Amino acid sequence: MDCKTYKSVLKLDKGTACTAWNYCGQRLAAGTVDGTLAVFDSTDPASSSFRCSSRVKVHKAGILKVVWVPPEYGDAVACIFYDGGFSICEEAGEDSHSVQWKLCEFFNRGSSKVLDIQFGVSPTSLKMVSTYSDGYIQVYELSNPLELKNWQLQAEFQNVIDSISTFRKASCLSASISWNPMRGGQELSFIMGFNSDTPQLNSSKVWEFDGAHQRWLPVAELALPEERGDRVYSAAWAPNIGRPYELIAVATERGIAIWHIGLNPDLDGRLPMERVALLSGHEGEVWQMEWDMSGMTLATTGSDGVVRFWQSNSNGVWQGQATFVHTS
């Protein structure tokens, strides 16, 4: 089935390299190759017309990726730049007339480039995971919920199950982080996979915060034993509105794997898991995977320029549901 119903929502500035919609789909942040952050707004939720409310040059290098900060922390985005650094920009003002987008904080980790950033919300704090081209993961915590300036580095580690080994000369092309999207009391966790020349780093691992010892622990590795070195192009954790297991999609060169992850760890502290599907359809790499709000439909896209929709039928068999190819 092809998706035939579509309509144009807005025109992007020329040189736009990345976009991100905020939590309610009313604002679009778009980054351009000359380092400009443009924000498009719809004032009325019932209307689908958008206008550009702000254009700010935030950095000298181009913007590679934009990620929204969770709404409990204001209207803010993280921008990843082509030069390897990233910054946090926020819309704020002392009074309603002086509201504007401004830079809060710039991060640069020297020679290693940041590859991906994602934010996780716990009841008391905002955490930010950043991954770098040298295979390292950093977890930051925001110390003041009203100020996006002060970030404390909480942990730094590599994406390996065995914490003793470190890989100093890793070279990573891309990385994908996806937080467990559910709010609430449970411990924070995220999934992380690399596309690198170091097989041990690549496979997707679920990292969970061990509050008692204030550390991050790998609790699951989402790869069959013979596929652990596969480069991971994308990973996406589905919202769980009540399933007795978590649902995670991981894209490698073999296709898109759908995993069921148990909610309770076994005696080794590992989560039980099962790969329930390996979907193929995209030609080339899968760049992005997004679960819908119920976690019932997975939308994917990649180097073939096709958007595919995947769903499980009533017998639990995952299959392609629809495709969308834009023809201008």
Partner 1 sequence: MPETAPAGGEVVPMSSGHGQPLAPRLSICWSRGNSLRVSLFSLASFEDEAGGEVVEVKLCDGGDGEISNAQWRTIAYDSVSPFAMLQNRRNSMSSFSNINPSPYHLECWEYMMDYSKDINVLLGNKKSSVDSLIEDPDIFLKKTEEPTCLKAAWELMEMFYVNKLSQAWLPERIVDWLADYDRLFAALHGTVHMKVMNFQNVHNDIEVYEDDLRYWDVIESALAVGWLEIVVKMLRRHGSYQLDQLSNRETENGLVEAVALLISKMPRMRSELEPGRLGECYKAKPDFIKAWDKWRGQITKLDSCAFWIQCHHGQTREGLKKLLQILLGNTNSLLAATTNWLELCVSHLIYIRPFTVGLESMYNLAQNCIQLKPMSSPHKLMNIIIGILGENTEVVLAECSKEFGPWMVAHAIELLTVGSNEAESLLHEERYNLGEISLEELHRLAYAQVLSSHALTWQIAPVYLSSCMKHGMGLLEILLYKQPVQLKELLLKNLEICRLYDLDDCSSNIMKMAGVYHWKHGRKGSGIYWLQQARDEFRLNKIAQQLFASVGKSISDESFKQWEGLIGLLDSESNAAGGFEFLHKYRDFKRSLQQIGDGKNDIAAQKAIDSLMLLMRNTSTPQRFWLPLLNDSLKLLNWQHRPLLSVSNTNLLLNKLQELSSARLHPGFVKPDLPAEALNSVRLALATNLGRAILEE
Sites for partner 1 among residues 59-118 (CB under 8 A)? 59-62, 64, 71-75, 81-84, 90-99
Residue 239 or 255: which CB sits closer to partner 1? 239
Continuous segment of H or E residues that includes residue 49 = none
Residues 131-160 that bind partner 1 (CB under 8 A): 144-146
Residue 30 or 248: which CB sits closer to partner 1? 30
- Measured CA distances, 240 to 21, 181, 280 (Å): 21, 8, 24
Give CA–CA dist 303/323, Å, rounded: 14
Residue 19 or 112: which CB sits closer to partner 1? 19
Smallest gap, in angstroms, from Cβ of residue 2 to partner 1? 8
Return all residues near 10 (Cβ < 8 A) that are at least 6 apart.
Answer: 28, 40, 49, 50
Name the segment binding partner 1 (CB under 8 A); options: 134-142, 203-211, 250-258, 312-320: 312-320
By CB under 8 A, residue 54 contacts partner 1: no
By CB under 8 A, residue 28 contacts partner 1: yes
Residue 64 or 235: which CB sits closer to partner 1? 64
Name the segment binding partner 1 (CB under 8 A); options: 24-32, 155-163, 248-256, 266-274: 24-32
Residues 192-211 that bind partner 1 (CB under 8 A): 195
By CB under 8 A, residue 248 contacts partner 1: no
By CB under 8 A, residue 34 contacts partner 1: yes
Give CA–CA dist 268/266, Å, rounded: 6
Give CA–CA dist 204/230, Å, rounded: 9
Listed residue (291, 21, 22, 297) closest to 178, CA to CA:
291
Listed residue (109, 226, 129, 233) closest to 172, CA to CA:
233
Q: Within 13 A of 268's CA, how many CA atoms are on the CB side?
A: 7
Binds partner 1 by CB under 8 A, chosen from 243, 266, 272, 283: 243
Count of residues in contact with partner 1, rule CB under 8 A: 99
By CB under 8 A, residue 312 contacts partner 1: yes
Name the segment binding partner 1 (CB under 8 A); options: 157-165, 211-219, 267-275, 297-305: 297-305
Contact of 87 with 54, CB cutoff 8 Å: no
Smallest gap, in angstroms, from Cβ of residue 163 to partner 1? 28
Listed residue (101, 28, 93, 16) closest to 67, CA to CA:
28
Name the segment binding partner 1 (CB under 8 A); options: 155-163, 203-211, 222-230, 302-310: 302-310
b/e 74-84 (16+ beta carbons within 10 angstroms → b): ebbbbbbbbeb
Binds partner 1 by CB under 8 A, chosen from 153, 173, 224, 263: 173
By CB under 8 A, residue 174 contacts partner 1: yes
Phi, psi of 53 (to 5 degrees): -100, -15
